[in-house]
Structure 1
Amino acid sequence: MTDEPTTLASWTRALRKQLDALGLDSAALCQAAGLDPSQLDDPNGRCPLSRTTRLWQLAVEASGDPALGLKTSQFVSPTTFHALGYALLASSSLREMFERIVRYHRVVSDALELVLHETPQAYEFRFRVPPGSPAPAPEALDAFAAIYVRSCRNRLGRDFAPLAVHLQRPEPADPQPWQAVFRAPVHFGAEDNLLRFSRTAFEQRLDDGNPELAEHNERALERSLERLQPATWSSRVRACLAAQLPDGEPSAERVAQTLHLSLRSLQRHLADEGTGYESLLSETRHSLAVQHMRDPRCSISEIAYLLGFADTSSFSRAFKRWTGQAPSQYREGLERP
């Protein structure tokens, strides 16, 4: 890994399939962009953003089609996104699906920051370029937006459409392909790349959700994230907490001992990373709580036990502090038809 953002090679293979379908020499275009076509077959391979952006530029020039990204989305399958694709298929609502996209998108690409924001009338899914980072090709962002709208249609039916689509790219000479794909008002030259969805559709319970399968793939995604990011002291503490919480709330001293550190050294390392033990304990419990709440087999009292709380009422108070809702209210929202 370098400091440059990277993307899964399987994502680039979808573009190659589109180019081959158009009768273009995808291998030659890859080589011209500095990508080795044979290395793109590695399921865990990653491509530097600068080279995939160059490939998109060459692909648009060769095809003469500025809407190429929209069409490339049809060559994306669940395996393109590895375990994330299957976790999305197993999600029990669109809200749950997009929460997973936000949490695990770095497995697919670290070129964007994703944010899911809830408003009184809608959910807004933003995908933006991190400050100081290079921007992906506009066609790649088109494909990104189209893929996730297509994912919603796969779960709710072909008639599904977002409320609105905002894209930062300049308005094309012919916006009809974008309107045809999204079937919603499309705003070009926008301040943010954003998809807006109906609350009703986002919170609808999906009958084909499978919490057990989703959890299985989340474990694979967690391992992938660990491989992608350097082992900070914060990440090591989170891993210790996740392992030790079922035995009761671990003390900072106990975690320090597990990491072969003195308590003072642990505190100093965490301070250098801008955090502290109590913050990491709360963040880890919050993250695990949301995961466990999605599993209908797990009672609220069991979740309190798994998170190391002394009793259910202590867990309920903490959960309301994290989410603004009592655990029972949150679960009712997940199960709402």
Structure 2
Amino acid sequence: MPEPSSLASWTRALRKQLDALGLDSAALCNAAGIDPLAPLPEPAHATLRLWQLAVQASGDPALGLRVSRFVSPTRFHALGYTLVASESLREVFERIVRYQPQSRDNLRLSLDKTAEHYEFRFNPPADCPAPAAEIFDAFAAIYVRTCRNRLGRAYAPLAVHLQRSAPVDPQPWQELFRAPLYFSASDNRLLFACGDFDSHLEDGATQAAEAATGLIWEPRVRGVIETQLPEGEPSAESVAQALGLSLRSLQRHLADEGCRYDLLLNQCRENLALLHICDAQLSLNEVACLLGFSDLEGFSRAFKRWTGLTPQQYRLGLLNP
């Protein structure tokens, strides 16, 4: 089966976000002219209508930014292990550009280096109707999250240019990108410092090539689990595939290090739960979805097992220390 397009991935992520907000994503799909049970991708005009209805139903103009959390960087653009194995962010984005035609997402990507910075552009073709503005918010957010996945959560680009009109309240964009923002821009463009993009990533391809001679696999497995959780509980098979391993090889590597996949999955969920629950902008349903739980009840049981408190009790304790 061909890899689904990244625009189709955004539709799945949008539905997960809507469901996490307590909205009926299936009903909104039907209202947009999309059969929620039909194979993806859908016609462009239908996805545009779905985003419009989703923003209206949620009352959240920054919905695209929120939806980006439900797309795994290691699966984005069907690159999988190549994103994990790249030696630098420059290689990561070069591969994104190179493999973009396989994604069938109606985007035109380019990466150019100037004397001072890299410019990464992501724009619709001139002869195609533009997707919803929120999709470009989501694309910008996932590209920045990809950088943070490799350089740390504090990373920020030099600037963010978006063709969309300026929102009434730009604060959600400012909080996510933590960089100068330019709305109503001539194109959709991210600027990155040369030093950040050219510097060697410690967990890149060189270390991947050293796997046969003793690479520590536990942190690498944790990283892939964390990026796949928003799409649902990741199986050991999907994590092994992202790492370019067979399931048996993954299990053997972890056993050699005294680890088990199920224990790592549980630890990753616990660590991320304590991080996400401190974010007041996230509802508990959203936190549950980001951790790969199918419902809030399952998350609540796990959280109480980890902390002795329900998520509601823990969050109240943060607000009233």
TM-score bucket (shorter structure): 0.5 to 0.7
The 5-angstrom pairing of residues 181-330 of structure 1 reads 181-210=176-205
Cα distance 1:53–1:116, how it changes in 2: closer, same or farther (>3 A)?
A: same
Report the equivalent of 1:110: 105
Q: 1:236 is matched with which residue?
A: none
- Which blocks of at least 5 consecutive residues in structure 1 are unaligned? 1-5, 215-337
**CA contact 2:73–2:146 (8 Å) conserved in 1:** no
Residue 13 (structure 2) aligns with: 14
User: In the aligned structure 2, how far is the partner of 1:29 from the partner of 1:126?
Assistant: 31
CA contact 1:14–1:75 (8 Å) conserved in 2: yes
Give 4+ residue runs of structure 1 displaced > 6 Å after superposition.
211-214
CA contact (8 A) 2:18 2:54 kept: yes
Q: CA deviation at 1:83?
A: 3.3
In 1, distance between residues paired with 2:35 and 2:208?
Answer: 34
Deviation at 1:52, TM superposition (A): 1.4
Task: Give the deviation of 1:213 after TM superposition.
Answer: 7.3
Give distance in 1, aligned partners of 2:114 and 2:77. Answer: 31
Aligned counterparts, 1:79-158, within 5 A: 80-81=75-76, 83-158=78-153
**8 Å Cα contact 2:162-2:188 kept in structure 1:** yes
In the other structure, the counterpart of 2:38 is: 39
Which TM-score applies when normalising by structure 2? 0.60
CA distance in 1, matches of 2:74, 2:177: 23
Choose 1 or 2 for highest CA Rg: 1
Of 173, 176, 184 in structure 2, the residue corresponding to residue 178 of structure 1 is 173
* Cα gap change, 1:213 to 1:84, in 2 (>3 Å): farther
Looking at structure 2, the residues matched to 159 and 99 of structure 1 have their Cα atoms a distance apart, in angstroms, of 23
Residue 29 of structure 1: aligned partner? 28
What's the CA shift for 1:10?
2.8
Gaps of 5+ in 2: 210-321
Percentage of identical aligned residues: 66
Query: What letter is aligned with 2:10?
Result: W
State the shift of 1:87 in Å: 1.9
1:86 Cα deviation from its structure 2 partner: 3.1
Kindly provide the amino acid, as one letter, of the partner of residue 39 in structure 1. A
Question: Match of 1:17, as an amino acid?
Answer: K
Contact map agreement 1:165 1:195 (CA 8 A) in 2: yes
Whole-Å separation in 1 of the counterparts to 2:128 and 2:20 = 32
Aligned to 1:52: 47
1:180-239 Cα deviation digits (max 9, x unpaired): 00000001111111000000000011111137979xxxxxxxxxxxxxxxxxxxxxxxxx
Q: Secondary structure at the match of 2:125?
A: coil
* 2:164 matches 1:169: yes
What's the CA shift for 1:80?
A: 4.6
Cα deviation, residue 105, structure 1:
1.8
List per-residue Cα deviations over 1:235-272 (Å, max 9, x = no partner).
xxxxxxxxxxxxxxxxxxxxxxxxxxxxxxxxxxxxxx
Question: Paired residue for 2:215?
Answer: none
- Preserved CA contact (<8 Å) 1:15 1:72: yes
Instruction: Provide the secondary structure at the position in 1 that maps to 2:109.
Output: strand
Equivalent AA in structure 2 for residue 15 of structure 1 = L
Instruction: Specify which of 54, 57, 66 is matched with residue 61 of structure 2.
Output: 66
Bigger shift: residues 150-159 or 129-138:
129-138
Q: Report the CA distance between 1:9 and its aligned residue.
A: 2.8
Distance 1:23 1:123 in 2: 40
Q: CA deviation at 1:48?
A: 2.3
1:230 maps to none
Give the superposition deviation at 1:8: 4.7
Comparing 31-40 and 118-127, the one that deviates more: 31-40
Are the aligned partners of 1:167 and 1:188 in contact in 2 as well (CA < 8 Å)?
yes
Inter-partner Cα distance in structure 1 for 2:6 and 2:77: 12
After TM superposition, give the deviation of residue 51 of structure 1 in Å: 1.6
Distance 1:134 1:148 in 2: 22
CA distance in 1: counterparts of 2:90 and 2:65, whole angstroms: 23
Q: How far is the alpha carbon of 1:175 from its aligned partner?
A: 0.5
